[in-house]
């Protein structure tokens, strides 16, 4: 089957055969899984499951080959210089915790870490904790009323005291695609280490870590059509080799005595214990699935879908969109409030007509407070969504207004 974004792509996702009327618009939280991912994991469990790296018997070596093959698939997906730069973690949150905790050990009191007001809690709270422990100073790039980064004071924010820039590539609330091409060179020019949270970007935009020039980058498997329970922390080998491990135990050691231990080189240094073996294989299948569709087709399709959704949503009476009102540098993630209706009630009414959306603060409470809101309803689209799905969302919002006599 030729893979093209749109309605025909739903045939690759078994959930849509099981729930034929489902309009799934919670892709910013987690995507559905194509059959190739399910089959890859099932095949491993049925035919060659064993623990990896340790066994010299046949099925252990087969499992290890598949596990390390998935690492190579991910390295190609993000254009890493080598597969050894790819570390498998539990999810993007775990990866960002490793980044913050390990980098903070090399910082001193008064050093500045620059974040943005767009950050997910996973790229904010670890740095808050690191700042407490190491007396660091957190600074923030503010956002405009439209939800884009306000770079008017960037030359003051990025200075000789800036040691880390930790920034999202795409906001999971506003859909904003941040100006990494401008910010990373500025941070590198003052000697700062750059950490990119690509959890929301990985399903929408091609990631080229070498071209970006960042030092560390994180994303989750479940947001790129892979399984939950696995994430990726990519890092430049020079940096990874200098960072201390975050967890300790089996697989990550080089030599151990009763008095001390020395640690293996990356990536094993950061992969203590039995890793997520089948999940890694599933992630490898997922990124190959994306590459089979092709980034050109994905970006073109999602740009058109974003444009269409914006036109329809801004025309809904009483709807306030939180985020850019134009499709440029924007992902198909739409957080909004409907005047007079609590976001959870909007989500509940939409569920009644088969439209699945998210309601809440989307793990970005400070950003919601910035816009004076406790919560929003969020509809997020991906490659298997269509203009018909947009229409179903808008029709559901009209029903919500009608039910509540707005």
Q: What is the pLDDT of residues 208-217, one digit of tens each?
A: 999 999 999 9
Candidate list 31, 214, 299, 363, residue with the active-site label: 363
For the question of residue 363 being annotated catalytic, the response is yes
Q: Which of 291, 318, 335 is the last residue of a domain?
A: 291
Q: What is the pLDDT of residues 11-58, one digit of tens each?
A: 999 999 999 999 999 999 999 999 999 999 999 999 999 999 989 999
pLDDT of residue 234: 98
pLDDT of residue 34: 98
Please choose, from the candidates 305, 348, 347, the residue with its C-alpha nearest in 3D space to the C-alpha of residue 327: 305
Give a yes or no: residue 1 inside a domain: no
pLDDT of residue 404: 78
Write down the H helix ranges in 79-220: 92-104, 125-134, 154-157, 180-189, 209-212
Q: Are residues 309 and 286 in the same domain?
A: no
Q: Are residues 73 and 212 in the same domain?
A: yes
Q: Are residues 194 and 329 in the same domain?
A: no
Domains contained in the chain, number:
2
CA quadruple 284, 290, 296, 299: dihedral sign? negative
Give a yes or no: residue 364 inside a domain: yes
Please choose, from the candidates 283, 359, 291, 354, the residue with its C-alpha nearest in 3D space to the C-alpha of residue 33: 283
Q: Are residues 144 and 218 in the same domain?
A: yes
Q: Are residues 225 and 302 in the same domain?
A: no
* Separation CA 16–CA 2 (nearest Å): 18
Q: Are residues 236 and 312 in the same domain?
A: no
* Separation CA 313–CA 380 (nearest Å): 13
pLDDT of residue 15: 98
CATH code, domain carrying 349: 3.90.1150.10
Q: Are residues 95 and 154 in the same domain?
A: yes
Q: Are residues 50 and 120 in the same domain?
A: yes
pLDDT of residue 202: 98
pLDDT of residue 405: 66
pLDDT of residue 262: 95
Q: Are residues 233 and 375 in the same domain?
A: no
C-alpha gyration radius of the chain: 22
Q: Which of 244, 268, 291 is the last residue of a domain?
A: 291
CATH code, domain carrying 147: 3.40.640.10
Q: Are residues 307 and 158 in the same domain?
A: no
Q: Are residues 54 and 189 in the same domain?
A: yes
Give a yes or no: residue 309 inside a domain: yes
Please choose, from the candidates 106, 152, 99, the residue with its C-alpha nearest in 3D space to the C-alpha of residue 125: 99
Q: What is the pLDDT of residues 126-153, one digit of tens each?
A: 999 999 999 999 999 999 999 999 999 9
* Separation CA 389–CA 282 (nearest Å): 27
Give a yes or no: residue 2 inside a domain: no
Q: Which of 291, 306, 335 is the last residue of a domain?
A: 291
Please choose, from the candidates 82, 87, 51, 81, the residue with its C-alpha nearest in 3D space to the C-alpha of residue 66: 51
Domain range enclosing 379: 7-30+294-403
Per-residue pLDDT of the chain (406 residues; tens, 9 = 90+): 578 999 999 999 999 999 999 999 999 999 999 999 999 999 999 999 999 998 999 999 999 999 999 999 999 999 999 999 999 999 999 999 999 999 999 999 999 999 999 999 999 999 999 999 999 999 999 999 999 999 999 999 999 999 999 999 999 999 999 999 999 999 999 999 999 999 999 999 999 999 999 999 999 999 999 999 999 999 999 999 999 998 999 999 999 999 999 999 999 999 999 999 999 999 999 999 999 999 999 999 999 999 999 999 999 999 999 999 999 999 999 999 999 899 999 999 999 999 999 999 999 999 999 999 999 999 999 999 999 999 999 999 999 988 876 6
48-57's contacts with Cβ under 8 Å and 24+ in sequence apart are: 49/277, 49/278, 51/274, 51/277, 52/274, 52/275, 52/277, 53/251, 53/268, 54/251
Give a yes or no: residue 149 inside a domain: yes
Q: Are residues 169 and 252 in the same domain?
A: yes
């Amino acid at each position: 089957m030729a893979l093209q974004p749109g309605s025909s792509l739903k045939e690759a996702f078994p959930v849509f055969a099981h729930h034929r009327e489902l309009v799934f618009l919670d892709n910013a939280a987690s995507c559905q899984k194509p059959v190739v991912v399910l089959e890859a994991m099932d095949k491993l469990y049925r035919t060659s499951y064993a623990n990896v790296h340790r066994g010299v018997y046949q099925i252990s070596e087969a499992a290890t080959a598949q596990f390390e093959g998935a690492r190579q698939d991910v390295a190609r997906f993000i254009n890493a210089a080598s597969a050894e730069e790819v570390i498998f973690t539990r999810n993007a949150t775990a990866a960002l915790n490793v980044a913050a905790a390990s980098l903070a050990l090399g910082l001193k009191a008064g050093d500045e870490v620059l974040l943005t007001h767009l950050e997910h809690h996973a790229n904010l709270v670890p740095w808050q904790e690191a700042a407490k422990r190491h007396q660091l100073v957190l600074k923030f790039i503010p956002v405009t009323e439209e939800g884009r980064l306000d770079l008017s004071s960037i030359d003051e924010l990025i200075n000789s005291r800036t040691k880390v820039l930790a920034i999202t590539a795409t906001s999971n609330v506003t859909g904003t695609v941040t100006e990494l091409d401008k910010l990373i060179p500025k941070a590198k020019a003052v000697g700062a280490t750059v950490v990119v949270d690509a959890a929301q970007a990985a399903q929408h935009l091609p990631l080229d870590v070498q071209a970006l020039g960042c030092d560390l980058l994180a994303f989750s498997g479940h947001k790129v059509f892979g399984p939950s329970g696995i994430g990726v922390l990519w890092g430049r080998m020079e940096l990874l080799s200098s960072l201390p491990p975050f967890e300790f135990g089996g697989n990550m050691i080089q030599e151990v005595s009763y008095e001390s231990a020395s640690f293996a080189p990356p990536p094993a240094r950061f992969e203590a214990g039995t890793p997520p073996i089948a999940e890694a294989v599933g992630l490898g299948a997922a990124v190959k699935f994306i590459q089979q569709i092709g980034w050109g087709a994905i970006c073109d399709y999602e740009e058109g879908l974003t444009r269409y959704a914006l036109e329809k949503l801004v025309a809904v009476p009483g709807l306030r969109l939180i985020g850019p009102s134009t499709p440029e540098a924007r992902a198909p993630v739409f957080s909004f409030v409907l005047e007079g209706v609590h976001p959870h009630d909007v989500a509940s009414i939409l569920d009644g007509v088969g439209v699945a959306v998210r309601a809440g603060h989307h793990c970005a409470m400070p950003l919601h407070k910035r816009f004076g809101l406790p919560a929003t309803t969020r509809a997020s689209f991906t490659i298997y969504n269509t203009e018909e799905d947009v229409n179903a969302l808008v029709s559901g919002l009209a029903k919500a207004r009608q039910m509540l006599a707005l």
